[in-house]
Chains A and B, each alone.
Chain A
Amino acid sequence: MAAIRRVLIANRGEIALRIMRSCRKLGIETVLTVSEADRDSLPARHADRVVCIGPAPSSQSYLRPDTIMQAALSTDSQAIHPGYGFLSERTQLAMLCEENDVAFIGPTAAQIAAVGDKLRARAHAVAAQVPVVPGGPVSTQDDAEALFEHLGAPVLIKAVGGGGGRGMKLVPTADDLPGAVQMAAAEAGAAFGDGRIYMERYVARGRHVEVQVLGDGGGRVLHLGERDCSVQRRYQKLVEETPAPGISPELRARICNAAVRFAAALNYRGAGTVEFLLDAQREAFYFLEMNARIQVEHPVTEMVSGVDLIAEQIAIAAGQGLKLTQEQIALQGAAVECRINAEDPRADFMPSPGRVTTAQWPKMEGVRVDTWIETGSMVPPYYDSLLGKIIVHASTREAAIVRMREALAATRIEGVRTNLEFQSAVLGSDDFAAGGVDTNWLGQFIQREDWEAPRG
């Protein structure tokens, strides 16, 4: 494989800049693909070269594997970094890379397909002796009724091609079952091009705990600890932290080892995250899915481990394998990340695109900011609303929370509405301070604090 001297970054926003930072450190040139809306963005000004791949809507730019592949070949890029979202977990770009001898900085197309099909991923988990939520595939109404009876109410019906909270339906009682099955199958077909569905027992008080792994593609996998991402609103993570508060070292080791087993069984290549649903009271955990990409919340892991995950991804893609051993990975202190979004928490979190007239990010010891926003930046309406991430690191969780509250208070964004004040309220709440909230907590917090605008 040719050495990687130039990387094409097929993404935008903060992750594009984040990838450039590691490339620069490694002496690698960057080519950034931009849509027309991102020509003048901060990442576009930092790249060594920029190529415009299409108009603003992502379906005509960032989601075009053939155009991106052509851009990589024509700019003599030896590798493509897909970032997260967009084409990162679709097989087409990974496949084109394999056909054209360009390194895809991520797993193989076959691995993306294996974990993207949630039923196959479930079967892999079972084979690797990783616990899964009780459930199974559903193809007929009779199947559904039998399985429902076996599992007991309530259950979740999920799309095989879904993931990340998309394509899920809660079925509270047996009466709701026939309608839910029919609708879930129809919606799955329309949204994912795959009408297959499956049913799982609904774990009401679960926490979202995920494990960062790195694999060399030859069966060697190591983990960099876990992250707790239970502070979510409609499956959108808002606050992430490591370590997961209030779990015993034994339970932590069991979860991390399960993630390694899962990834090793796939001969997983690159950086990935294995997500679990944690029932903390019962000390039980269940495999949810694997994300075959770098994640938004990867910096909390970098803060406690000192490992540059993007650099590791590039090294693995270049065929250098894993430079670290499990014993060399020491996780120190606690890290918390707050996502700062252009959205209005008082108007049902409606996105708020527009021109940023003031952007002041915190400059403090132990605080890292990953952003693509500066004063004058334009937030286009076509993409997600993530403006940046504030990440803090301290020796203890308590100190990290104090530091994050200071960092949030020192941040000023004007011109677009943001969730800064909302994040301050979350970080200042007694429940968050106590640690270990479940995935339903934020929804209740929003209602309790009367965050949403009164309706009617």
Chain B
Amino acid sequence: MSLTARDVAEIVRVLEESSFDSLELDINGMQLRLKRSGAVAPQNEAAQTRAADRNAAAALMTAPAPAASPVVSGPAGTTPVPAPLLGIFYRAPKPGEPPFVQAGDRVRADSIIGIIEVMKLMNTVRAGFDGEIVQISAANGELVEYGQPLLWLRKS
């Protein structure tokens, strides 16, 4: 028996959504070890996204300098889910795949809502509350600052 990329992706998803921090598989001598604390992205892909991000950021810099404290107000009656760290925000597990969440989705506190990349290290971001997503405010592939609202949800 061998594992396809799709199988590995499925196993990763299972681990992500479980309450475990690591997973080890041994199938006829083929070993797979997974740890939750962050994974290293494939080199070429990471390099591409970084180069792309540099260009995007360069374009941004021609706009007037943003205020030190971004205006934090979302739709009435909603709560922000802030970025837990500075990095590049990704809405989907991989380019081309559907996003983790969309406006209108109901999420639980432990639902994954995105990934933040810091120097090739991928960190999953969870909703933190049960509720319904009203608005997503951070764009895919964009630099997010610590504390910046990624999305707004109505707590249930």
Contact = CB atoms under 8 A, between A and B. Distances in A.
Interface string A48-62: 111111110000010
B88 A74 contact: yes
Interface in A406-427: none
Given A40-B69, A66-B119, A49 B61 contact: yes
A44 B50 contact: no
A135 B126 CA distance: 56
A22 interface: no
Contacts of A67: 85-87, 118-119
A70 B68 contact: no
Contacts of B146: 36, 52-55, 61
Nearest to B59: A76
Given A52-B147, A53-B145, A66-B119, A29 B86 contact: no
B27 interface: no
A77 B146 CA distance: 19
B68 A44 contact: yes
A73 interface: yes
A170 B117 CA distance: 47
A110 to B, nearest CB: 21
Residue with the highest number of chain A CB atoms closer than 10 Å, among B57, B68, B88: B68
B71 interface: no
A69 interface: yes
B105 to A, nearest CB: 27
A96 interface: yes
A54 B144 CA distance: 11
B88 A50 contact: no
Interface string B35-66: 00000000000000010011001100100011
A363 to B, nearest CB: 27
Contacts of B57: 74-76
Contacts, number: 71
Contact of A70 (B61, B66, B69, B87): B87
A54 B43 CA distance: 26
Given A67-B85, A67-B118, A75 B143 contact: yes
Nearest to A34: B68
Interface residues of A, number: 28
Interface in B126-156: 143, 145-148
Chain A interface secondary structure, helix, strand, loop or mixed?
A: mixed
A417 B61 CA distance: 40
B92 interface: no
A48 B68 CA distance: 10
A74 B143 contact: yes
Contacts of A70: 86-88, 117-119, 143
B145 A52 contact: yes
B121 interface: yes
Given A44-B68, A70-B88, A6 B145 contact: no
Contacts of A6: 61
A75 B58 CA distance: 7
A52 B86 contact: yes
Given A34-B68, A53-B146, A66 B61 contact: no
Contacts of A75: 57, 61, 143
A266 interface: no
A45 interface: yes
A324 to B, nearest CB: 32
Nearest to A36: B147
Interface in A72-106: 73-76, 96
Contacts of B65: 47-50
A69 B69 CA distance: 21
B147 A76 contact: no
Nearest to A54: B146
Contacts of A16: none
A73 B58 CA distance: 10
B118 A66 contact: yes
A364 B37 CA distance: 56
A447 to B, nearest CB: 44
Interface of B: 50, 53-54, 57-58, 61, 65-66, 68-69, 85-88, 117-119, 121, 143, 145-148
11 contacts: A36-B147, A40-B69, A48-B65, A49-B65, A50-B66, A51-B86, A51-B145, A52-B147, A52-B148, A74-B57, A96-B119
Task: Give the 4 A-B residue pairs with the shortest CB-CB distance, closest first.
Answer: A74-B143, A66-B119, A52-B145, A76-B58
